Amino acid sequence: MGQPEIATDHKQMVKLAQEKASLDNIIGLYHEYEETVKSLEETQVMQNEKLDADMLTMVKEEIRQLEEKQTMLQEKLKLELLPKDPSDEKDIIMEIRAGAGGDEAALFAADLFRMYSRYAQSKRWNVDVISASESIGGGFKEIILEISGKGVFSRLKYERGVHRVQRVPTTEASGRIHTSTATVAVLPEAEEVELSIDPSDLRIDIFHSGGAGGQNVNKVATAVRITHLPTGMVVVCQDERSQLRNRQKAMAVLRARLLDIERSKQEQEMSSMRRSQVGTGERSEKIRTYNFPQDRLSDHRIGLTLHSLRELCRVNLTN
Q: For residues 146 and 191, which has the higher predicted lDDT (pLDDT)?
A: 146
Write down the pLDDT at residue 275. Answer: 45
- For residues 142, 147, 152, 154, the Cα torsion angle rounded to the nearest 10 degrees is 20
Q: Are 246 and 131 in contact (CB under 8 A)?
A: no
Q: 303: alpha, beta or left, given left = phi > 0 and alpha = psi -120 to 50?
A: left
Per-residue pLDDT for 114 more than 60? yes
Instruction: Give the residue-averaged pLDDT of 188-215.
Output: 72
Instruction: State what percent of residues in the chain have pLDDT above 90.
Output: 28
Which of 18-27, 151-160, 211-220 has the highest mean predicted lDDT (pLDDT)?
A: 151-160
Alpha-carbon distances, residue 144 vs 16, 256, 301 (angstroms): 30, 12, 25
For the cut 60, the answer to whether the pLDDT of residue 273 exceeds it is: no
**pTM score, whole prediction:** 0.64
The strand pair at 202-207 and 178-188 is best described as unpaired
Highest mean pLDDT among 84-93, 110-119, 218-227, 275-284: 110-119
Calculate mean pLDDT across residues 4-27: 81
Give the pLDDT score at 317: 44
What is the arithmetic mean of pLDDT over 157-161? 90
Strand partners, 143: 96, 132
Per the model's pLDDT, the better-predicted residue between 51 and 109 turns out to be 109
Tell me: pLDDT of 217 over 50: no
pLDDT at 64 over 80: yes
What pLDDT is recorded for position 272?
45
